[in-house]
Structure 1
Amino acid sequence: MSAVPRSTPRKVAAVGVALSDCGRVDEATPYALHAQAARRALADSGLGRDVIDGIASAGLGALAPVEVAEYLGLRPRWVDSTSVGGATWEVMAAHAAEAIAAGRADAVLLVYGSTARADIRAGRRTSNLSYGARGPLQFEAPYGHSLIAKYAMAARRHMHEYGTTLEQLASVAVQARANAAANPDAMYREPVTVDEVLAGPMIADPFTKLHCCIRSDGGCAVLLAAEEYVADCASLPVWVLGAGEHVSHAAMSQWEDFTVSPAAVSGRLAFERAGVRPADIDLAEIYDAFTYMTLVTLEDLGFCGKGEGGAFVEKGRLLRDGGLPTNTDGGGLSAQHPGMRGLFLLVEAVRQLRGQAGERQVHRRDGSLPELAVASGTGGWFCSSGTVVLGRG
């Protein structure tokens, strides 16, 4: 098959997904993790590498994804290097699906790898992210606004506006850890309590240590392909039903409302394009660098009203057997977070919809496998959002 423009849009499916080695991977390079994840995703699909004519990658090398493609021995005719932080991979998935549907590509590999944890331990990078002092950000840099401080300010505003409590935020971390307990690939699996989260060392008020994501090494890959390839695949296809993207701000001073994330727009667009409602969704994979991200993203995706997120996340609703299983692998708070975690959300959503999640597998009330999942990534300090709706049918 060849990638040629089409008048009738093709359906697009995730046909291969995989993780590289994750957690503590001191001996690997980021390129090696890219390659390992890519090989495993291709094997999962059952297709040959010759079908790949597109690649999407960001965060590595001066010419990403050119360097990654060369390392993998690929010469793609379609590329994407969109970089909008943690939302990158959902945005890239949307772009790739549109390209495949239109016939500009047949099969696109989304691939990521990072040795963030190992690099810090070896002194190859600092854990203090600097976003530079040029352009608009120069006016906030002198005040020492770190990424975590920006999220902490947003969380405090939500608490002030709506009465959200520290205990409610802490319950997000507790449930993420409980989900991770059933994931053999999760970096941290030991149970934690709300009291333990609250008693941890303060990082940025109101966030103690366990309100914050872990730092790990790792990579993953997703292969998206046109419907013509599905019959030759080794695994159940998971269809891309709809997607949306939105950007909000860069400078905190330009953020109109600290209690509203760009997922309010990307989510609405994704659900509209998929022809489904939040109430139809069986599970959610939400970017969770901090507990507040999960809470406010669930609000903005429409799973509850604005200001109701605190009550919504209580009483085990996010557990894999709860009312809305969320971050079923343990999320960035417990499973893995090597940097831009958005692609991991898609991998977990696909595995759950296929019924391949093992002990952490989600089931509907009638015991059947889930039919619909949403993956929503957030970048920067609520600067960007990408949301993708996936389905079995």
Structure 2
Amino acid sequence: MKGAAYIVGAFEHPIRHAGNKSVAQLHSEVALGALADAGLGIRDVDGFFCAGDIPGWSAPGTGPFSLVEYLGLNLRYLDSTESWGSSYINHVAHAVEAIRAGRCRVALITLAGRPRADASSPDANHREPADTPEYEFEAPYRAVVTNMYGMVAKRHMYEYGTTSEQLAWVKVAASHHAQHNPHAMLPQVVTVDDVLASPMISDPLHRLDCCVVSDGGGALVIAEPGIARSLGKPLITPRGSGYCVRQLNGGYFDILRSGAERSGADAFAEAGVRPADIRYASLYDSFTITVLVQLENLGFCPPGQAGRMAADGGLIAGVGRLAVNTDGGGLCNNHPANRGGMTKVIEAVRQLRGIAAPQTQLPDCSLALAHGTGGQLGGRHGSATLILERES
């Protein structure tokens, strides 16, 4: 992938509660923000990549077409691959492939949503019966996201002796980074004791082990090499990518092995680098246990060692050996539309450009990883991994 295309624009919406904005408006604002960052305009875009967060996704005959019209795009290429929180990391790889194939020259990727503002809606908790093949077997048991991740955490503790204190260190690291982010939803620094004193949500996960629910969004612009070099921006190129759908095999599966094992291995192989070469990692952090599982599955440490790696500030920039989620991540900063993949790429781009918060910016950061999960650990999900490089 290296040199086939470059990320030239990145924008994260500063809003965290969008009571007076529609989802379409949020998509428009993040699109314009990323294009402005790139030094391009809406007329330059000829490829658009989106997922199920767009308004009208389920309405017959509308979906992506309505948003394309709303944004005023004149397209040669459209990709509406839906893989939930991993979609946007996956879209970067798709955009590079489309540009390399000559299908488009400037690709726009957007994410937006307002789950926080919509939480008080009468329909917020309404769910229509699904026609998925597993519905009648699984729905009666009322599995919910927090319980699924609590089960993963409990298994990790049973297998490896991981402690609640080690889980809490993931939140502590995120809060140390979030204090330097003026847009972070939870900018207060917390301690391990604070995490353990917060209410239990799903044993062993406390409230502070869980991510925020926020409105907002983000966008990326990817351009072919000639255009990218003309813009005078740092040249951030995707170097390797991987994607994996992790299914449950009728119940015969290891709950601690996520799709990151394969998506990460594929990304590292394509990039020709190892986990030890990565200076910065953006890891999906829907819960603290999510980070520990990904650290192990991506190869940053052996199985069972992630709790020790996170303890005592191991994930804090300037303190630990691997800086993780220097914007505060989903645990403290932002989790727009309940889909964390977009913000993971945006912060990786900031680190590679050298424009992250001064207190969390890694010196001479030239290689970064972004990883996202769509679906949920402990259940069926998709994993996407992206390795990015700043060309010198």
Count of equivalent residues: 380
Cα distance change on mapping 1:119 and 1:252 into 2, 3 Å: farther
CA distance in 2, matches of 1:257, 1:102: 38
1:138 Cα offset (Å) = 2.3
Secondary structure in 2 aligned to 1:90? helix
- 2:32 is equivalent to residue 35 of structure 1: no
1:359 Cα offset (Å) = 2.8
1:150–1:252 Cα contact (<8 Å) kept: no
Structure 2's unaligned 5+ residue stretches are none
Cα distance change on mapping 1:360 and 1:101 into 2, 3 Å: farther
The match for 1:372 among 367, 370, 375 is: 367
The match for 1:282 among 268, 279, 288 is: 279
CA distance in 1, matches of 2:131, 2:155: 26
After superposition, the C-alpha distances for 1:334-381 in whole angstroms (9 at most, x for unaligned) are: 001121120111111001110111334422xxxx32000000001111
User: How large is the RMSD of aligned CA atoms in angstroms?
Assistant: 1.9
The match for 2:184 among 178, 186, 192 is: 186
Amino acid corresponding to residue 294 of structure 1 in structure 2:
V
2:282–2:371 Cα contact (<8 Å) kept: yes
- Superposed counterparts of 1:259-270, under 5 Å: 259-270=256-267
Q: TM-score, normalised by structure 1?
A: 0.92
CA distance in 2, matches of 1:258, 1:326: 23
Amino acid corresponding to residue 298 of structure 1 in structure 2:
L
1:19 Cα offset (Å) = 1.4
CA distance in 1, matches of 2:249, 2:124: 26
- Hey, what does 1:119 align to over in structure 2? 118
Amino acid corresponding to residue 318 of structure 1 in structure 2:
L
Cα distance change on mapping 1:254 and 1:85 into 2, 3 Å: farther
1:49 Cα offset (Å) = 2.5
Secondary structure in 2 aligned to 1:258? coil
- Hey, what does 1:235 align to over in structure 2? 233
Secondary structure in 1 aligned to 2:342? helix
Structure 1's unaligned 5+ residue stretches are 1-7
CA distance in 1, matches of 2:331, 2:324: 12
CA distance in 1, matches of 2:258, 2:198: 27
CA distance in 2, matches of 1:323, 1:270: 21
After superposition, the C-alpha distances for 1:305-344 in whole angstroms (9 at most, x for unaligned) are: 1111111111211112131110110000000112112011
The match for 1:23 among 13, 16, 22 is: 16
CA distance in 2, matches of 1:357, 1:129: 39
Secondary structure in 1 aligned to 2:323? coil
- 2:300 is equivalent to residue 303 of structure 1: yes
The match for 1:11 among 4, 13, 25 is: 4
CA distance in 2, matches of 1:194, 1:129: 36
Cα distance change on mapping 1:202 and 1:273 into 2, 3 Å: same
- Hey, what does 1:5 align to over in structure 2? none
- Hey, what does 2:309 align to over in structure 1? 312
1:255 Cα offset (Å) = 5.7
Secondary structure in 1 aligned to 2:312? coil
Amino acid corresponding to residue 49 of structure 2 in structure 1:
A
Cα distance change on mapping 1:157 and 1:132 into 2, 3 Å: farther
- Hey, what does 1:106 align to over in structure 2? 105
CA distance in 1, matches of 2:127, 2:177: 29
CA distance in 2, matches of 1:9, 1:272: 13
CA distance in 2, matches of 1:302, 1:9: 22
CA distance in 2, matches of 1:206, 1:255: 24
2:212–2:334 Cα contact (<8 Å) kept: yes
